[in-house]
Structure 1
Amino acid sequence: MSASLAPECNEVKERYDTCFLKWYSEKYLRGQGGTNENNECAAMFKEYQKCLTVALKDRGIDKLVEEAREDNKDNDALYLGRK
């Protein structure tokens, strides 16, 4: 598994990756998993996402991400079917 974009998030990313891969191989691929949003790994994903959000903000990258999202809002709407 690869390292996180933020080294301080590596541990939580590794726990999430392990959980996800187990869910994916043991449940999803066998038609038992439903969606990943409702599985046992969801809390770990939220924890990893929270860690990344803090790390990006601390580095000032969060503003660049928001600018990129704003710049591509029309493309997102077109390709993701949003109005």
Structure 2
Amino acid sequence: MEACSELKQKYDACFNYWFSERYLKGDNNDSMCSTLLTVYKECVAVSEKAMKEQHIEVKDVEVNHLGTDQEKSVPPRS
């Protein structure tokens, strides 16, 4: 979900810091990044819901059509 990629990057950075600087040094408290994870999951859920409402499949979004015959074709309607 491209709309959520910035949130994922922030969560990943937080997690990587927590893992290397806290967890590996014996601190098991993983609440440090929990807010970021919650916001990221909510973003993904909203994006998935919007895609379902518009009848868009995730596999269709991941396909690169640029420079192919599919680039200019109209997608089939359900």
Could you list the runs of 5+ residues in structure 2 that have no partner in the other structure? 57-78
**Identical aligned residues as a percent:** 36
Q: Deviations over 1:20-79 (max 9, x none)?
A: 0000000001112x142xx21000000000000001111117xxxxxxxxxxxxxxxxxx
TM-score by length of 1: 0.60
**Rg comparison, structure with higher value:** 2
- Please identify which structure carries the higher helix content: 1
The runs of at least 4 consecutive aligned structure 1 residues that moved more than 3 Å come to none
How many residues are treated as equivalent by the alignment? 53
RMSD, aligned α-carbons: 1.3
Could you list the runs of 5+ residues in structure 1 that have no partner in the other structure? 1-5, 62-83
TM-score by length of 2: 0.63
**Partner residue of 1:56?**
48
| RCO higher in structure (CA 8 A, sep ≥6) | 2
